[in-house]
Amino acid sequence: MVYCTKCGAPLKEGDRFCPICGAPVAKVIREEFTVSGSNLVDRVRDLLHEGNVTRVIVKDEKGSTLLEIPATVGVIGTVIAPWLAALGVIAALATKCTIVVERRE
């Protein structure tokens, strides 16, 4: 789900303006990467350190969501450690994963 960057209200897909505060909604660009389980943690860590990522979603081979990391977590380095630990467990269990990266223009 997408949220307004100004007031935090939930937005529907296709909204151009926030229904609560009227702020314009930035366009979200989605990119997908397929990685092996051994490279998963390193790739997600690199993506979060880029800074322009709003959300990272890790999916298994079947398309089921395994982990969803919001961008606010990526800003604070100490809070990200538990997320990466959970991601390490997922990487040990999965052979191939798809990383969906959402960025705002």
Query: CA dihedral in degrees (50, 5, 71, 2; nearest 10)?
Result: -120
Between the two ends of the chain, the Cα-to-Cα distance in Å is 17
pLDDT in tens, 50-101: 767 778 888 888 888 888 877 654 454 545 566 666 777 776 666 788 888 8
Region 14-39: mean pLDDT is 84
pLDDT, residue 93, reads 67
pLDDT, residue 21, reads 92
Contact 84, 73 (CB under 8 A): no
More confident residue, 84 or 34: 34
The CATH number for 27-104, chosen from 1.10.3470, 2.30.30, 3.30.70, 3.30.1490, is: 3.30.1490
In this prediction the pTM is 0.64
